[in-house]
A and B are shown apart, each in its own frame.
Chain A
Amino acid sequence: DGGITQSPKYLFRKEGQNVTLSCEQNLNHDAMYWYRQDPGQGLRLIYYSQIVNDFQKGDIAEGYSVSREKKESFPLTVTSAQKNPTAFYLCASSIRGHNEQFFGPGTRLTVL
């Protein structure tokens, strides 16, 4: 089955630690995206990538980093510089040039 997978589903982090969230897709999509979702707020774009080895900052990139070494994979690192990292993180992908984005199941990150 084609789709997007995210792991882990739940992640706990101590203050001062960096953590990496995984996102993999087998839809052969060129574009991939990372969003953050907080209660009562709409999804906010963190980073996006339209092609391998290229990515751009979204609206709230501070404290986050990404890489895009493979078409299928777009991992997100939440660094210790992110002041309020507790949130639900969603990865999405789309065919380059098409608009519909398809989402993974999400990772809930909690800072202890």
Chain B
Amino acid sequence: EDQVTQSPEALRLQEGESSSLNCSYTVSGLRGLFWYRQDPGKGPEFLFTLYSAGEEKEKERLKATLTKKESFLHITAPKPEDSATYLCAVQAGWSNTGKLIFGQGTTLQVKP
């Protein structure tokens, strides 16, 4: 069964304290892995797409990496405005429907 697991469920950091969020997946052939940011009461905001192991993408203080079994979202020197829930999703290789399988998310709180 295709599955996505994110850890930790919640993470508290001090401003400037770098850390990483994990997204482990089991899927029948990976077509793509996606990271989203979601603020409370709002829709997810697209961050990155990763397609193959070894790929990396960066945006401001965020860097996403991908291996054959997991993805990491590295947050360097976070600021309070980085506080949000980060969602990971995968699309299986067998699927041509666009269906995404989501993890439960990691809620990040950055304190000043």
Contacts and interface: CB of A to CB of B under 8 A. Distances in A.
Given A58-B99, A101-B98, A106 B46 contact: no
A41 B104 contact: yes
A105 B4 contact: no
Interface stretch (A13-21, A42-50, A76-84): A42-50
Interface string A8-51: 00000000000000000000000101000000111111001010
By secondary structure, the A interface counts as strand
Main SS class of interface, B: strand
Nearest to A41: B104
A45 B41 contact: no
Interface string A101-112: 111111010000
Contact of A99 (B4, B32, B36): B32
Query: What range describes how many residues of B lie at the interface?
Result: 20 to 34
A1 interface: no
Contact of B42 (A100, A101, A106): A106
Contacts, number: 60
Name the interface size band of chain A: 20 to 34
Given A45-B100, A50-B97, A94-B98, A99 B31 contact: yes
A103 B34 CA distance: 13
Contact of B34 (A4, A42, A90, A99): A99
B4 to A, nearest CB: 7
B87 A43 contact: yes
B43 A105 contact: yes
Contact of B98 (A4, A42, A50, A103): A50
Contact of A40 (B4, B34, B44, B104): B104
Given A42-B103, A50-B97, A101-B100, 4 more contacts: A41-B104, A43-B89, A100-B34, A104-B43
Interface of B: 4, 31-32, 34, 36, 41-46, 49, 87, 89, 91, 97-105
